[in-house]
Amino acid sequence: MNNQPALRTDNLDVTYTGNRTVTALDGVSVDFAENALTAIIGPSGCGKSTLLKSLNRLHEIQPNAEISGEVHFGDQTVYNTDEPLPELRRQIGYVPQTPTPLPMSIYNNVAYGPKIHGDYSRKELDDLVETCLRKVNLWDEVADRLDDPGAALSTGQIQRLCLARSLAVEPEILLCDEVTSALDPISAEQVEETLESLKEEYTIIMVTHSMDQARRLADDVVFLYLGELVEANDARTFFENPQADRTKEFISGHGASTHLEESDSSDSGAKPDEQQESAGDEPAPVQQ
């Protein structure tokens, strides 16, 4: 599609050496296209999040991760490089699965990154915060309470706040780790809309356990199974004319995606959260 991929992994191996050695990624070589949304799918525990975090070296906060291979980011390399890690991570942003506000005001959640990286005047910072909050369709909801703590927002709003926080440091790539899995359906839809609008400007790489979501949003799909790359293709070919047998099996087996979602969320322990979430959030739409 595009002339050069935004990110390219080259024979990436990641091994966790704790009490027992686990190979999380095994020789993964894959391209991520620029200004497109790539979905990484696969069953639980097959290395999706590891692949995502290894793209900006966030897996390194775990003490026992060993990695070999390389990630190419434009002309730069991510691993054997002189570029300082913070600068690399500014360019390749990350939004975690659990909506995580930083312990500060809504305004400062967005201004946190810019304040670290540059000398902005108060006015410039105000404008930047507004721009970013508008990009994630959150400005109208929070404009009159920017000084409230970020954690005072609803989970769905927090997740969009997290997106705005990442956008504020002007990244080129956004890594999103199952960003809708902890949200109720309505908030999830809003976040999806936001991602949809962002992919024109940014390269988005997103882990998802929902095949439906991949179908709706993705331009390209990367399918991992037990740490190995099974198939990487544009979304249309992937879903309508899968090449690998395992992909065919996976797509037909989880055609409705409900089965996969269920087993996925109960595995990761996210289900009680989801239930709480919908229990707490459902009355709101009814009142409207």
Partner 1 sequence: MSSTTDHGAGTDGTPGTPPSTDDARSDRLEWRLTIERLSSYWLLGAGLFAIALFGLIVLTLVQQSIPIVSEHSLLEMVTSSNWDPAQEEFGFLPAIVGTIYVTVLSMAMGTPIAILAAIYIAEYAEGRTKMIVSSFIDVLAAIPSVIFGLVGLIVVVPFVGDYLAPALGAHSIGLGIVTVSLVMAIIVTPFMISLSVESLEALPDELRESSLGVGATKWETIRSVLLRAAGPGIFSAILLGFGRVFGATIVPAMLIGGQTAIPDNPFDAGETLPTLIVNDFGELMSLPLTQSALILVGLILLVIVWLFNFGAMLVRRRLKRRWQY
Residue 204 binding partner 1, by CB under 8 A: no
Of 22, 104, 226, 244, the one binding partner 1 (CB under 8 A) is 104
String marking each residue 244-273 x if it binds partner 1 according to CB under 8 A: ------------------------------
If one counts every other C-beta atom within 10 angstroms of the C-beta of residue 240, the result is: 8
Residue 134: both structure tokens together: 């508008």
- Phi then psi for residue 221, to 5 deg, are -130, 135
212 to 251: interface string for partner 1, x by CB under 8 A: ----------------------------------------
Question: How many Å from the N-terminal Cα to the C-terminal Cα in the chain?
Answer: 44
CA distance 60 to 82: 17
Contact 278, 186 (CB under 8 A): no
Binding partner 1 (rule: CB under 8 A), the pick from 102, 126, 141, 172 is 102
For the CB of residue 252, give the shortest distance to partner 1 in the complex, in Å. Answer: 34
Of 166, 132, 129, 131, the residue nearest 146 (C-alpha): 129
Cα gap 195→227, rounded to integer Å: 26
Question: With contact defined as beta carbons under 8 Å apart, do 229 and 40 qualify?
Answer: no
Nearer to partner 1, 86 or 269 (CB): 86
Q: Near partner 1 by CB under 8 A, which window of 25-33, 53-61, 215-223, 275-283?
A: 53-61
DSSP 15-65: EEESSSEEEEEEEEEEEE-TTSEEEEE-STTSSHHHHHHHTTTGGGGSTTE
Q: Does residue 116 belong to the site contacting partner 1 (CB under 8 A)?
A: yes
> Which of residues 166 and 247 has its CB atom nearest to partner 1 in the complex?
166
Per CB under 8 A, does 159 bind partner 1?
Answer: no
The Cα angle at residue 178 between residues 264 and 222, in degrees rounded to 5: 85
Assigned token pair, 267: 């595995």
- Choice between 151 and 244, CB closer to partner 1: 151
89 is a site residue for partner 1 (CB under 8 A): yes
Among 162, 204, 206, 214, binds partner 1 (CB under 8 A): 162
Q: With binding defined as CB under 8 A, does residue 155 bind partner 1? A: no
Per CB under 8 A, the segment of 34-42, 123-131, 145-153, 231-239 that binds partner 1 is 145-153
The verdict on 113 binding partner 1 (CB under 8 A) reads yes
The site for partner 1 (CB under 8 A) is made up of 53, 56, 58, 61, 63, 86-91, 93-98, 100-104, 112-113, 116-117, 149-152, 162, 165-166, 168-169, 175
